[in-house]
Structure formats: C-alpha cells, structure tokens
Amino acid sequence: MGETFHNETIYVAVSQDVRECKSTLLWTLRNFHVKKLCLLHVHIPFSLTASSSGLEESEIDAIQESIVKTAHDSLHKYRDICTNKRVKEENVDISWFSGYSVGEGIVELIYQNNITKLVMGAAADPHYSRGMSITSRKAEYVSQHAPHSCKMWFICKGKLIKTQEGSFDLGYPSDSFSEFSSSDHKPSRGRTREEHETTPPKEHSERIVETDEASKRVRKEEPKRTKSNENKVDSDKPHPDFICPISMEIMKDPHVAADGHTYEANEIRTWFSGGHRTSPKTGARLPNHNLTPNYTLRSVINDWLLQHPNHRTD
C-alpha cells in the first residue's frame, strides 16, 4: 500500500491489552508512511460502588487509580512501538475518552477530532479466519455510526479485512465497504468477553436502533441528485427530521430523549432544567431524563449541509 499522509494524522484505535492491538498498530506503521499518528483509547471506568461491593470508598478509588495507571502504561508501550519504527515521539499523540461503550466512545472521538483516517481492529486476533468479516460489535458500531468523511481500515491479526471509504454522500456507511472476502460470507456474531462487558444496556441499545430507523427514513426520502433535478435539490428545504421540535432550527448535536424523539442537546437539557417532566413533542410524562446521542442523524445532517453550503444554521 505505502500511502503517505503528509498533512493528515492517522488515528489508531487501541485497547488496554497491547497483545490484542499490537498487530493493528504494526499494520498501520508498515502500510502507511506515517508522519503523525494518534493513539485513540476509550477508557471504561470501574463500575463498583461501596454499597454493591462492600468495599470502602478509598479502596474503590485505589482500584480506579490502578486501572487508569495500567491504561496509561499500555499507551506508553504503544508509543514505544511507534518510536521503535522510527516515528518521532513528539509525533505520537494520545486521545483519551472515558465512557461505558467503546464503540460510542470511538465515534465521539471521531467527531471531536474531525478524524478522516482511522485504523481499528475488526476482531480480537484469535478470532481471525480466512475470508472473515467484521465480528467485533464495537467495530461494527463504528462502521455504521462514524461520519461518512472518515475513511477506515479494519484489521485482524495484521491483515486488512475491510476498508470503508470516506465520502460525503448520503448512502449507508456500509455501502462503501470494499470487501476482502467472498460475497456469500456472512459476518460472524461471535462476541468476546470484553464486548459483553462493554455492550450498552438493552434499553440504550433499543433507542439507538430506533434512531437508526429514523435516519434511514431520512436517507430514503432524500431526493437523488441528477442533472434534471440538481438545481431543485440545492434549493430544497432541510428534511423535517433535521429540525429540533423546540428551537425549530437545524440540529447540530441531536439527542434522543425517552419519548423516542430527537432534540438539540442544549434545548432539551434547558427544557429539563426548567422543571419539565413531560415530552416537548407529545406532552406525555417522561419516565426519565436520559439522552442518547443520535450519531447517525448528526452525520446525515452534516452531509446535507456540506451539499447545501448556502444554507445558514446560525
């Protein structure tokens, strides 16, 4: 491959287990002429509480500190691998995110850092088989929810499994996959113990599925760009699902509330802080004030705005 990215940073998603991700990092260093590299890490905090574990708060804090220190030690080992491959230490950065879901954390880091080049594992190395597809739930989540502008390489045991091209169209992210396996090979649904431990709660996952369905509907209804309707598309108003029901403006940071509807994050938080316990959309009482980032809809909105640069969002 031997691609060179002089002005772009290559991001590599790594876990605390160096043995698990070392082959992915080495693949990156071997196949790209890397000038600047950033290690992407999502930290999963220790979830024990004093009441549930019977431990003292000081003991729990000590365990937390130990876990964080171990994670930092692992990241320094990854950095040593890079410097041993002649990447200057000052050109190896670390981007850290703390959350309960690895997949969501990586997607959030992609948005925060405007990442356009990402390499990550498709599965743990022991799961490798010839002609395999993505088996990691977190990798599958990232492939489905990352912005279309991010090009991604999925690696297992030092071998390229799939490439997802970065683009600004409104097609499904999976449509841009370049397959490196037979067309009739179905992805395995095997899960590692780590993925079981970091999988979001069922309620949270169901809300994300509903979010995806809404975004698919947006994509389906978005007019196709052809020579005959190109001028019409450029003058189209934004899709109704792009608009926050509270502010009536295009959303920049859409979040799904417990009523299943999507709102601009700041608007719905202001609604809750004002003492409201009902849905701004339906008026029904909400069971909770939980909010779920709608990454897919945010990606669709950003793509639409890129194709409609004259549309003001301020």
Kindly report the CATH number assigned to the domain that includes residue 13. 3.40.50.620
Q: Does residue 220 carry a pLDDT above 60? A: no
So what's the pLDDT on residue 63?
Answer: 78
Domain count, the chain: 2
Q: pLDDT band at 53, cuts 50/70/90? A: low
What is the H or E stretch that residue 40 is in? strand 37-43
> Residue 1's pLDDT is what?
55
Which pLDDT score is estimated for 210? 38
Judged against a pLDDT cut of 90, whether residue 2 lies above it is answered with: no
CA distances from 20 to 2, 13, 74 (A): 24, 11, 11
- Looking at the fold, whether 17 and 139 belong to one and the same domain comes out as yes
What pLDDT digit, counting tens, does each position of 54-87 carry? 777 887 788 788 888 888 899 999 999 999 998 9
Distances 55 to 59, 61, 66, 69, 161 between C-alpha atoms, Å: 6, 10, 15, 20, 44
Residue 288 reports pLDDT greater than 90: no
Q: Is residue 222 part of a domain?
A: no
Q: Is the pTM of this model over 0.75?
A: no
Residues 156 and 284 in one domain: no
Q: What is the CATH number of the domain that holds 246?
A: 3.30.40.10
Residue 187, in any domain of the structure: no
Predicted confidence at residue 50, as pLDDT, reads 67
Within this chain, do residues 252 and 153 fall inside the same structural domain, yes or no?
A: no
pLDDT tens for each residue of 300-311:
888 888 888 777
- Say yes or no: 103 and 244 in one domain: no
Q: What is the pLDDT of residue 297?
A: 81
d(CA 208, CA 6): 37
What token pair was written down for 114?
Answer: 């405007």
Q: Which of 144, 164, 184 is the last residue of a domain?
A: 164
Domain extent at residue 268 = 240-309
Residue 99 lies in a domain: yes
* Residue 46 counted as domain residue: yes
Q: Which of 108, 132, 164 is the last residue of a domain?
A: 164
Least confident interval from 159-173, 226-240, 247-261, 267-281: 226-240
Q: Are residues 148 and 29 in the same domain?
A: yes
pLDDT for position 167: 55
- Out of 43-52, 129-138, 214-223, 276-285, least confident range: 214-223
Does residue 296 have a pLDDT over 80? no
Q: Are 252 and 239 in contact (CB under 8 A)?
A: no
Q: Is residue 184 part of a domain?
A: no
Residue pLDDT, tens place only, 249-279: 999 998 888 888 899 999 999 999 888 888 9
Give the pLDDT of residue 56: 79
